[in-house]
């Protein structure tokens, strides 16, 4: 049984404008999938539908065979602990330290009072330091996040997502704001995490060469519809033109 089943999803913000139209695909445990497409293709909206930051207009999303639209408020909170989210602009609390931001990934497991009091167990603190060590960030644990580079901030974001112990990582343009060296560091970490921990990664990317290098599978969106779903090595120039249209000529393919 697939870990995640997306069935005929449609998302409409305006009456005559569909952001997503008839999106369907299955995701298995441990897959590394890149979603590519031009700006406005619906990539970010799709990820936000999967973790229900946005409610879709029609269709179904099943996680472990459970319809996520049927979840109560309590069950939705529990569901979201299993879906780690990594953002383009990090979504860190700048005035807090690295270790405090990582521990915030545990708030989904806390009562409201525990969350307000920011009470974390020794085990949670140990795990936070372990993840920072794994991501090469332990020496920065007590730095405020506004003193970090973009690549460092993104590694904190990854640690914060991982401390949730998720089944899936949803990564929304995680390298769009980074230089090439930092981008490689982040993508290497995501790939290693997926392989070592068998965590499914769904990564929105604009860079076709990066998607081809790291992914087991590529899904191409254009105009809110899937126009390609297959192996990176089978992605042709024709497919690139179907996905990106006139932008295709400007892309550097690996």
Give CA–CA dist 87/89, Å, rounded: 5
Q: Which part of the chain has CATH 3.40.50.300? A: 1-82+166-254
Q: pTM of the full predicted structure?
A: 0.92
Beta carbons of 215 and 232 less than 8 angstroms apart: yes
Q: What are the tens digits of pLDDT across the range 187-200?
A: 999 999 999 999 99
User: Which position has the higher pLDDT, 238 or 110?
Assistant: 238
The CATH number assigned to the domain with range 1-82+166-254 reads 3.40.50.300
| Angle between helices 122-134 and 150-162 in degrees, nearest 10 | 140
What is the rounded CA–CA span in Å between residue 200 and residue 29? 6
Q: What was the pLDDT predicted at 32?
A: 97
Is the separation of the CB atoms in 32 and 214 below 8 Å?
A: yes
- Asked if 161 and 189 count as a contact pair (C-beta separation under 8 A), the reply is no
Mean pLDDT throughout 56-69?
A: 95
pLDDT given at position 253: 46
- Tens digit of each residue's pLDDT (9 = 90 or more) over 108-136: 877 665 655 667 889 999 999 999 999 99
């Amino acid at each position: 049984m697939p870990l995640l089943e997306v069935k005929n999803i449609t998302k409409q913000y305006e009456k005559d404008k569909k952001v997503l139209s008839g999106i369907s695909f299955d995701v298995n445990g441990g897959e590394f999938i890149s979603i590519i497409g031009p700006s406005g293709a619906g990539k970010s909206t799709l990820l936000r539908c999967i973790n229900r930051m946005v409610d879709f207009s029609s269709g179904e999303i099943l996680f472990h065979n459970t319809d996520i639209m049927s979840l109560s408020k309590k069950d939705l909170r529990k569901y979201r602990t299993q879906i780690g989210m990594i953002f383009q602009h990090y979504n860190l609390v700048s005035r807090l330290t690295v270790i405090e931001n990582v521990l915030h990934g545990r708030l989904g497991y806390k009562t409201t009072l525990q969350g307000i009091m920011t009470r974390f167990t020794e085990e949670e603190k140990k795990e936070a330091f372990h993840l920072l060590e794994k991501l090469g960030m332990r020496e920065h644990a007590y730095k405020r996040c506004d003193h970090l580079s973009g690549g460092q901030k993104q590694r904190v974001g990854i640690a914060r997502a991982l401390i949730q112990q998720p089944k899936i990582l949803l990564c929304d343009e995680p390298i769009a704001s980074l230089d090439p060296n930092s981008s490689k560091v982040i993508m290497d970490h995501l790939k290693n995490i997926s392989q070592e921990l068998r965590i499914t990664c769904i990564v929105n990317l604009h860079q076709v060469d990066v998607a081809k290098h790291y992914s087991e599978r590529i899904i191409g969106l254009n105009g809110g519809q899937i126009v390609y779903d297959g192996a990176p090595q089978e992605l042709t120039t024709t497919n690139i033109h179907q996905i990106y249209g006139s932008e295709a000529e400007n892309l550097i393919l690996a």
